[in-house]
């Protein structure tokens, strides 16, 4: 079994280097201005037996961090994805760790293989199926499939010896938020929100102190289970997770609470956050799938409160992410507005969810 750690420890370095050496590394760089043309060059280098005339390339448009191209080989019907990293995203994402995640998860049967790397991205397998809509997340049947799949993830890669990555990541991120935005309009927007970096640092200290006392079990988490990272296979009636760049050992309640927060979508419609009845039914499915035996009311109440508390952490986590993206990303998305909406909901629910 492979050891996974958000911050790669020195003793794991040799193992990582060995695994990375098995993945082809191309000295090629994709220019986002020529995304399809350059992606074609990368595919040709990795799959020289594929004729250009037998390839269909298309741009996937729903991401807000990276740029993604889907390549279909018509003869074999094999589909691969070429992901070009977003500008400056290495500030947010440990790219060598992502490589390790994909290799380990692939070995565990939880994701497709990694085919190759290039200077600013990766090429990996495609998960066939239908991408969840935000509405699908609250569908009784499909949400049950998500619960079972998450339980499978949380039961995998068990022999890792590492600390949860949540607060290590958040402290790194909060120290990467710019003191002043280079874009004056963004600076005005952040200032108008009324939030300050000093305030957020103090709040993070308080949040960490509270959540660490809950002793939520540490498992290997996806950490980004929004609708776009959930794939439904109607033929097999199964659910799979995609995009593993934020994966790491973490508190189980963060993975679950973060997923529930994503019911509101990028529009941040918090009226769609699942109620207690829905959450407890979902959690019962999750605990049963993990093999935890009879799920008592007391156990259900305890994990429900645990998840509420870590839902707050999810709001804080992605607000910091968005405040950094506002400075570094060239994708057309109002990151400041998104960060403010997440922070506003954090403070609105804080007293209730930290009871």
- How many Cα atoms are found within 13 Å in the side-chain-facing hemisphere of 322? 21
Q: To which residue do tokens 């995304």 refer?
A: 35
Tell me the average pLDDT of the chain.
Answer: 92
Q: Which fold has domain 130-353?
A: Aminoglycoside 3'-phosphotransferase; Chain: A, domain 2 (3.90.1200)
- For residue 248, pLDDT over 50 is answered with yes
Q: CA 280, CA 276: separation in Å to the nearest integer?
A: 6
Average pLDDT over residues 154-175: 87
Question: 17: which residues sit within 8 A by CB, 6+ positions away?
Answer: none
The residue ranges of every structural domain in the chain are: 10-125, 130-353
Check pLDDT > 50 for residue 47.
Answer: yes
Copy the structure tokens of residue 259.
Answer: 């997923």
How confident is the model over 257-295, as pLDDT tens digits?
999 999 999 999 999 999 999 999 999 999 999 998 889
Q: Are 117 and 26 in contact (CB under 8 A)?
A: yes
pLDDT grade for 4, boundaries at 50, 70 and 90: very low
pTM of the model: 0.90
User: 2 falls in which pLDDT band (50, 70, 90)?
Assistant: very low
pLDDT in tens, 53-93: 899 999 987 666 788 999 999 999 999 999 999 888 888 98
Mean per-residue pLDDT for 110-138? 96
Q: How many other CB atoms are found less than 10 A from the CB of residue 313?
A: 27
Ramachandran bin of 129, using left for φ above 0, alpha for ψ from -120 to 50, beta for the remaining angles: left
Phi, psi for 71 (deg, rounded to 5): -120, 125
Contacts of 51 (CB under 8 A, 6+ apart): none
Give the separation between CA 308 and CA 155, rounded to whole angstroms. 22
Q: What is each CA distance from 42 to 117, 129, 319, in whole angstroms?
A: 9, 25, 34
Q: What pLDDT is attached to residue 107?
A: 87
Reported for 184-193, long-range contacts at CB under 8 A and 24+ positions apart, including other chains, are 186/326, 186/327, 186/336, 189/336, 189/337, 189/340, 190/323, 190/326, 190/336, 190/339, 190/340, 193/336, 193/339, 193/340, 193/343
Mean pLDDT of 197-214: 98
What letter would DSSP give residue 25? Answer: B
- pLDDT value of residue 62: 67
Condensed to tens digits (0 to 9), the pLDDT of residues 16-33 reads: 566 667 889 999 999 999
pLDDT of 314 reads 99
- pLDDT, residue 90, reads 84
Burial readout 59-88 (b: 16 or more C-beta within 10 A, e: otherwise)? eeeeeebbbbbebebeeeeeebbbbbbbee
**Residue 87: per-residue pLDDT:** 81
Rounded CA gap, 250 and 80, in Å? 29
pLDDT of residue 95: 87
Chain mean position to CA 295:
28
Is pLDDT of 40 > 60? yes
8 has a pLDDT exceeding 60: no
CB 205 within 8 A of CB 212: no
- Does residue 114 have a pLDDT over 60? yes
Strand partners, 56: 72
Give the per-residue pLDDT at 14: 62
- Mean pLDDT across the stretch 336-349? 98
Both ends of the chain: CA-CA distance in Å? 38
- 10-125, superfamily in CATH? Phosphorylase Kinase; domain 1 (3.30.200.20)
3-state secondary structure of 73: strand
Q: What pLDDT shows up at residue 157?
A: 75
**Of 173, 186, 175, the residue nearest 90 (C-alpha):** 173
| Residue carrying structure tokens 């350059």 | 38
pLDDT of residue 3: 36
User: What mean pLDDT is predicted for residues 326-348?
Assistant: 95
Cα dihedral angle (95, 101, 106, 107), rounded to 10 degrees? 130
């Amino acid at each position: 079994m492979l050891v996974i750690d958000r911050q790669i420890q020195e003793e794991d370095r040799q193992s990582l280097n060995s695994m990375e050496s098995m993945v082809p590394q191309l000295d090629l760089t994709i220019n986002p201005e020529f995304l399809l043309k350059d992606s074609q060059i990368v595919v040709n280098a990795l799959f020289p037996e594929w004729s250009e005339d037998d390839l269909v390339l298309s741009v996937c448009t729903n991401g807000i961090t990276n740029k993604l191209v889907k390549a279909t080989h018509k003869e074999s019907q094999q589909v691969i994805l070429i992901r070009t990293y977003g500008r400056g995203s290495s500030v947010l994402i440990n790219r060598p760790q992502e490589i390790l995640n994909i290799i380990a998860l692939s070995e565990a049967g939880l994701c497709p293989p990694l085919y190759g790397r290039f200077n600013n991205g990766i090429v990996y397998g495609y998960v066939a199926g239908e991408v969840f809509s935000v509405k699908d997340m609250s569908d009784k049947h499909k949400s049950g499939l998500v619960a079972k799949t998450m339980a499978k993830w949380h039961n995998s890669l068990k022999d890792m010896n590492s600390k949860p990555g949540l607060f290590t990541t958040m402290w790194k991120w909060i120290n990467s938020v710019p003191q002043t935005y280079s874009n004056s309009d963004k600076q005005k927007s952040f200032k108008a929100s009324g939030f300050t970096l000093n305030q957020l640092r103090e709040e993070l200290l308080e949040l960490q102190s509270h959540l660490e006392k809950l002793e939520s079990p540490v498992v290997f988490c996806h950490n980004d289970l929004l609708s776009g990272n959930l794939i439904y296979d109607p033929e097999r009636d199964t659910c799979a997770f995609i995009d593993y760049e934020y994966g790491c050992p973490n508190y189980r309640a963060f993975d679950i609470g973060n997923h529930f927060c994503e019911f509101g979508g990028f529009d941040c419609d918090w009226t769609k956050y699942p109620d207690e009845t829905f959450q407890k039914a979902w959690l019962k499915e999750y605990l049963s799938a993990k093999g935890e035996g009879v799920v008592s009311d007391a156990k259900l109440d305890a994990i429900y409160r645990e998840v509420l508390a870590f839902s707050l952490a999810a709001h804080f986590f992605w607000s910091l992410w968005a405040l950094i993206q506002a400075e570094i990303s060239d994708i057309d998305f109002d990151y400041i507005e998104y960060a403010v909406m997440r922070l506003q909901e954090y403070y609105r629910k804080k007293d209730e969810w930290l009871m």
